[in-house]
A and B are shown apart, each in its own frame.
Chain A
Amino acid sequence: QQQVKQSPQSLIVQKGGISIINCAYENTAFDYFPWYQQFPGKGPALLIAIRPDVSEKKEGRFTISFNKSAKQFSLHIMDSQPGDSATYFCAASIGYQLIWGAGTKLIIKP
């Protein structure tokens, strides 16, 4: 019940396309849903986050869509660029506990 399931494991998108990564959770007590971006040789860094009382949050080319009834949330990257190639992690939190998805390796082809 503490799991966050992330899909797909890997994703290849053409430059300029839309990248979509999905996550699902079971525990309705989760109250904060961040996405982290990790480049090779670096630690993860917060990209964007959402609370369950909001259905969508947009920051530049990055948008989180949140479906509370379905217990699902997704990251959309519009106009994907080669510099967006990285591993993306969704997560869900209760208090100071962060439960991480398994990660999606995104490759943007020029």
Chain B
Amino acid sequence: DAGVIQSPRHEVTEMGQEVTLRCKPISGHDYLFWYRQTMMRGLELLIYFNNNVPIDDSGMPEDRFSAKMPNASFSTLKIQPSEPRDSAVYFCASSRGSLNSPLHFGNGTRLTVT
């Protein structure tokens, strides 16, 4: 089991540029979560999917953020245009369908917007 795979590991971009973060969940997991982690705000849930369908996107900070899950093995989180305050570590996590199944996190993408 390769675990949750995220790419890139690090992304440095200039303000105003489009950023796309990628995630491959664990095979067989039907829930996928996008989190953002900062020192100030801790771990924040941005959005989660069930069977590729977005269920709750209330944590998405604003319209500049969008997420898609075109199939069971791939998801993207896009920021357009990016701003310095978007600098954070973005984590993808997946889990099996039963309640209280553990979340399996990827190693994150560290985004720096200058």
Chain B 57-114 interface residues, beta-carbon cutoff 8 Å to A: 91, 93, 99-100, 102-108
Q: What A residues does B108 contact at CB under 8 A?
A: 41-43
Interface residue tally for chain B (C-beta within 8 Å): 20
A98 touches B103 (CB 8 A): yes
Partner of B100 from the list A43, A93, A101 (CB cut-off 8 Å) is A93
Count of residues in A whose CB is under 8 Å from the partner chain: 21
Residues of chain A contacted by B12 (CB below 8 angstroms):
none
Tell me the bound Cα distance from A101 to B93 in angstroms: 17
Main secondary structure, interface of B, reads: strand
Cβ–Cβ contact B43 & A95, under 8 A:
no
Footprint of A on B, CB under 8 Å? 4, 31, 42-43, 45, 48, 50, 55-56, 91, 93, 99-100, 102-108
Known: A42-B107, A96-B55; 17 extra A-B contacts, CB below 8 A, are: A34-B100, A34-B102, A41-B107, A43-B4, A43-B106, A44-B105, A45-B105, A46-B102, A46-B103, A49-B102, A95-B99, A96-B48, A96-B99, A98-B103, A100-B42, A102-B42, A103-B43
